[in-house]
Amino acid sequence: MIENGEQRMRRRLAGGEGTNEFPLLADLAAQGGTDYWTRIIPFGDRGTPEGRGLATSWTTRESAGFAEADLALTDATLPAFGLAYKATMAVDTTSTLVSTYLGRDAAERIRRGEIHRGQVKTVRKALWFSEVRRLAKTAIRASGAVLQQGILTGVEFAPMYFVSQRWRALQHFAGLSRSLGN
């Protein structure tokens, strides 16, 4: 459907239609499905990220399959459903993105309108990034002198490494704080 630009496809499963085209249709027919209908609701221009759209598929076990009136009603309501779905997904995606980068608390405060662009608030927390590759290299170097003697294991060495990193950071920020006039 995507390759040939079709937006609708129907296969009457009761007569075996489509069961050789797609394994899914054969499975649905084996489970008693009699009719299959699918519709793509496009968003925006084709070829753009917004032009992707929403694909829906429907199956029934009614012996006569879908009634034409039911398909017409479903077909008429799907564009509004697709738009509502797209809006909901945009909000959910944005929420996940903001929560991932800023944290759940900050994301919730932004959604509630408590944080605005340019607003400043003192937060007594810091985000710490540490190069773990240096930990591995240091552990390998230390293994010759300390770890092989059974004094420290790699697991015991890691906290010592992070404590030393914390000490370096505190020294750096203390100096920075003095240079800014505390």
Residue type, 68: E
- Show Cβ contacts of residue 65 under 8 Å, excluding neighbours closer than 6 positions: 12, 13, 14, 34, 35
Whole-number Å distance between alpha carbons of 28 and 10:
13
| pLDDT at residue 143 tops 60 | no
**The pLDDT of residue 57:** 93
Q: Which residue has the higher pLDDT, 106 or 16?
A: 16
| pLDDT at residue 175 tops 60 | no
Residue type, 129: F
Prediction pTM value? 0.54
| pLDDT at residue 100 tops 70 | yes
SS3 175: helix
Whole-number Å distance between alpha carbons of 98 and 111:
9
Residue-wise pLDDT tens digits, 104-133? 888 888 778 887 777 777 766 555 555 555
Residue-wise pLDDT tens digits, 24-66? 999 999 999 999 999 988 876 655 555 577 889 999 999 999 9
Whole-number Å distance between alpha carbons of 141 and 96:
41
| pLDDT at residue 92 tops 80 | yes
Mean pLDDT across the chain: 75
**The pLDDT of residue 94:** 83
Cα dihedral across residues 109, 114, 120, 122: positive or negative? negative
The residue extents of the domains of the chain are: 8-111, 132-179
Whole-number Å distance between alpha carbons of 56 and 38:
6
Q: Which residue has the higher pLDDT, 147 or 95?
A: 95
Whole-number Å distance between alpha carbons of 3 and 26:
22
